[in-house]
C-alpha cells in the first residue's frame, strides 16, 4: 500500500524503495528524501527499536542536504532522537494534529561547495517541501 501511494503521489521520483530496514538495501544509492511511518509498538507495548534504527541510519543514506520525514504519534520523543544525531540539522515539526506529528530533519551539507544543497533548496522554494509532502500524504497543515 505504501509503495503504491508513493508512486501515485510522487510520480516524478526516480525510485521508490520499499524496505524494512537499511540493511536490506545496497550501500548506494543515496536518497534526496527518506519518508517513513515506522511502527512504534509491539502489541500494546511501546517499542522504538525500528524508529531508532531509522534515525541512526538516515544520515548515512541521505545525500548531503537530503531530508528525512517521519510520521509518528505525538507521544513519541522523536524530536530528541533527531536532535541527538550530529549529522542532522534543521530538526522541526511540520504538522501536529494532536495525535500524529510529521517531523523533518536535513543532513548537514558536506564541505563548503553546497552545490547539491543549493539545488535542493531551489527545489524546495519552487515546491515548498512541507506543503507538497504533507498535502500528498493527506496530512493537514
- pLDDT tens, 65-107? 999 999 999 999 999 999 999 999 999 999 999 999 999 999 9
Structural domains in the chain plus CATH codes = 2-137 (3.40.50.150)
Banded pLDDT at 8 (limits 50, 70, 90): confident
Region of 105 please: left (phi>0), alpha (psi -120 to 50) or beta: beta
Does the pLDDT at position 131 exceed 60?
Answer: no
Q: What pLDDT is stored for residue 123 in this prediction?
A: 38
Sign for the CA dihedral angle at 103, 107, 112, 113 comes to negative
- Which pLDDT score, from 0 to 100, does residue 125 have? 35
Q: What is the pLDDT of residue 139?
A: 41
User: Would strands 88-96 and 100-107 be described as parallel, antiparallel, or unpaired?
Assistant: antiparallel
Give the pLDDT band (50/70/90) at residue 2. Answer: low
Q: How far is CA 46 from the centre of its chain?
A: 21
More confident residue, 11 or 118: 11
Prediction pTM value: 0.71
Amino acid at each position: 500500500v505504501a509503495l503504491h501511494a508513493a508512486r501515485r503521489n510522487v510520480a516524478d521520483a526516480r525510485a521508490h524503495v520499499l524496505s524494512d530496514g537499511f540493511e536490506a538495501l545496497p550501500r548506494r544509492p543515496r536518497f534526496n528524501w527518506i519518508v517513513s511511518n515506522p511502527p512504534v509498538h509491539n502489541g500494546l507495548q511501546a517499542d522504538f527499536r525500528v524508529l531508532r534504527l531509522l534515525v541512526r541510519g538516515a544520515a548515512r543514506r541521505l545525500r548531503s542536504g537530503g531530508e528525512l520525514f517521519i510520521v509518528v504519534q505525538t507521544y513519541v520523543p522523536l524530536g530528541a532522537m533527531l536532535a541527538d544525531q550530529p549529522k542532522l540539522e534543521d530538526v522541526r515539526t511540520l504538522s501536529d494534529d494532536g495525535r500524529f506529528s510529521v517531523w523533518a530533519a536535513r543532513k548537514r551539507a558536506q564541505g563548503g561547495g553546497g552545490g547539491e544543497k543549493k539545488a535542493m533548496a531551489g527545489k524546495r522554494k519552487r515546491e515548498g517541501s512541507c506543503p507538497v509532502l504533507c498535502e500528498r500524504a493527506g496530512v493537514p497543515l
